[in-house]
Amino acid sequence: MREILEILEKDARTTPEEIAKMLKKSVAAVKSAIKKYEKQGVIVKYKTVINSDILKDDAQKVRALIEVRVAPQRGHGFDHIAERVYRFPEVKSCYLLSGSYDLLLVVEGRDIQEVSSFVSERLATIDNVNSTVTHFILKRYKADGDILKRIERNNRIAISF
């Protein structure tokens, strides 16, 4: 029933009745599968993607991508350090990477100073954090597979002389 997950991932508002109709399954079977996925932790949360650029309100947050180089701990690898890092409320996402850096964080704050303070006072001071590189996000075009801003095409006819 992987199809159920794919449908919900595209649009979490799709009802079990709609999914059952799409997959030619019973509503009870779809509801049972969804409950099972929720109980197992396969479905973690239902979420709305918000284009905050359109809102342009005072509560708009500053986001940054932070690359973190760490020394893995004996017996724990990267997991123990990652857990310490992702428990900070400023950290919205945390990924283990291959390549030059070990962790990639998505961090959110009220302004650049708040993100900078988080990096210098809290993140960089953790034992085994060797270095960080911060990239402030200036504009989001696509998030979680969804295009945030529609590109308006110029439909005028080109005239040349």
Q: What is the DSSP string of 131-158?
A: EEEEEE----SEETTEE-SPPPP--PPP
DSSP helix/strand/coil, 45: coil
Residue 115 confidence (pLDDT) above 90:
yes
pLDDT per position as a tens digit, 16-69: 999 999 999 999 999 999 999 999 999 999 988 777 777 777 677 899 999 999
The confidence band for 119, taking pLDDT boundaries of 50, 70 and 90, is very high
The confidence band for 154, taking pLDDT boundaries of 50, 70 and 90, is low
Quickly count: other Cβ atoms within 10 Å of residue 68's Cβ. 25
Q: Provide the pLDDT for residue 1.
A: 79
Q: Provide the pLDDT for residue 153.
A: 62
CATH code assigned to 52-141: 3.30.70.920
pTM, to two decimals = 0.76
Domain parsing of the chain, residue ranges: 2-40, 52-141
E strands along the chain, which residues?
62-70, 91-96, 103-109, 129-136, 142-143, 146-147
Cα distance between residue 101 and residue 96, in whole Å:
9
Sign (positive or negative) of CA dihedral 126, 132, 138, 142: negative
Q: Provide the pLDDT for residue 103.
A: 98
Mean pLDDT computed over 128-150? 88
